[in-house]
Structure 1
Amino acid sequence: MDIGLVAGVVTIGFIHGVLPDHGWPIAATYGLSRSRTWLYGTIAGLVLGVGHLISSVVLVLAYFWFSRFAAFAEGPWMRYIAGIILVLLGIHEYRNGGHGSGHDHDDSHHDHAHSHTHEHEHSHEHSHSGAPSQRGILTRIRERLFSGGHRHLSDEDAERGLMALGTTALLLGFAHEEPIQILAVCTGTAYCLELMLIYSLVVIVAILVPTLLLIAGYERHRETVDRYTPYLPLLTATVLVSMGLAFIIGVL
C-alpha cells in the first residue's frame, strides 16, 4: 500500500473528525452533563466515531457488491477516472467550503433554521409555474431525513442519550461527502476496505481527542478549533486534488 495514499486518507479522516459539526462538541456536552465526566465523554466520542465507521464500512461493502457486476471496474484506465473524480471533489470542497457555514456555535442553529426556511420558500415559489419538480427521489429522502440537506448534531441529541448520538452519527455518515471521497480513492486502488478502515479509525481519534480537550479546557480549546476551521476545506481540497493528479500521472 502506497504511503502517500495512506497519508492522504489519514489527512481527510482527521479533518472530517475534527470539524465541530461532526459531533465532538456534543459528545463533550454529554460528558459534562454527567457526574463521571471523562468516562461518559469518552464513551460518547467513541459512539459517534463507531457510528461513522459502520456507515463507511457499509459503503465499501456496497462498492464491492457493485464491482462484482461491473467488469469495467477492473480496467487499467480506472485510475484516470479515480483521478478526475478526486480533482472534481477537491474543487467542490474548495468552492463550497466543506460543509457550509454554521461553525459559529452561538448562533449556528438559528442560521441553519433561517437558511432552510429560505430554501423551502424559494422552491414553493417555483412550484406555481406548473413545471415538474427537478429534485430526484434521493434528494427528497435526504431532505426528509436531514431537515433540508446536511443535518448537524445538536445539543438535543446529547440530551436524548447515547442511542440518539449513535443513530444520528450513523445516518450522518451516509450524508457526508468524505466517505464518497474515499470511495473515489477505492476506484483507483485494490486496498479499498483497508483504506476505509484507516479513515474510520482516524475519524474516531479525531472526534475523541477534541472531545476530551474540550472537557479538560472547556471553551478555550473549542475557540481554538473554531479559529482554524475555515482553513480546513482548503487543506482537504489540496489533498484531494494532489491525490487525483497522482492517480492520473501514475504516481499512486
Structure 2
Amino acid sequence: QAQIANEAAPALTGDISEAQGNLTAAQAELQRLRDLPSDEAITQAAADLRLREVELRQAQEAYDAVAYAEGLAMSPQAAELQTSTLNYERAQAVYEDATKPAAEAEIAAAQSKVVQAQNALEKLLTGLRPEAESVNKARLKEAEIQVEEAKANLAKAILYVPWNGVVTAVDGAPGVPINNASVTLAKTEPLRFATDNFSERNLADIEVGDEATIYLKSYANTPFPAVIQRIELESTAKDGDTALFTVYFDFNGDDFELRPGMTGRVEINIEPHS
C-alpha cells in the first residue's frame, strides 16, 4: 500500500530536476559516441604520438652513442630509452583508439539509457497512467489475499486449550517435520493433585466438593486449601485385599512455584453427610 501510494503521489520539484539532468547526461553521452571518431581527439592524439616518437628517436641516438661502454644496462641512456619506448607505445594505443568509431553495442546501450531517462521523466511529469493504476490495484488485491492466507496459516499453527497452562515438553527437533510431533501441556489453573492410595474403607465418607488440605514436600509448612474434583469409578490398585482408588483435588497454588510431578500428602475433612 505504501509503495502504491508513493507511486501515485505528485512528483517533487527536486525529483523532476534530477530526472531532467539524467536525461541530458544520457543524451550527451549518446551524441558523443555517435560523433566518434572525434577530429579533436585525433588531432590531440596524433600530436602526442609525434612528440613521443621524437623523444624515442633522441633516446635511441643517445643510447647508441654509448653502446660500446661496459655496464650499459645500468646507464642513464638505457633507462631513458626504456621510458621513451613505453611512452611511445601508450601514445600509439591512444591514437588507435581515437581513430576508431564507437562500437554498435556501446551506441545501443547509450540509446537504451536515453529511453529509460525519458520514461522516468515522463512518468514524473504526467503522473500515474490509468493502465499503471489498474496494475497497482491488481497488485494490491493480490497482496491482500496473500495476507489473509498468511493469517489463516498462522491461525492453523496456534494450539488453543480451554484452560491456562504451560508447555512442559515438545516431541520434535529443529529441521524435522512437525506433522507427527506431540506437545505436552500442564494445566496451571486450577492446579490438580491426585492421590492413588485412598482406601475403599473411607470411600463412603467422601464426595465431590468436600474440602481438603494439601501439604507438598517442597512447602511442607504451607497448607494449600483444596476440594475433591473427581473420584475414579474403578479401583486403580490394591493394598492386600483392600481396593485403592484415585481421588483428584483442585487447589490454588497462589504465587508459589509449583511444578508437575511434585509430591505430598492430603488431609480430607470428613464430616457426616446428611
TM-score scaled by structure 2? 0.19
Q: Tell which structure's C-alpha radius of gyration is larger.
A: 2
Structure with the largest fraction of helix: 1
> Of Structure 1 and Structure 2, which has the larger fraction of its residues in strand?
2
With a CA cutoff of 8 Å and minimum separation of 6, indicate the structure with the bigger relative contact order.
1
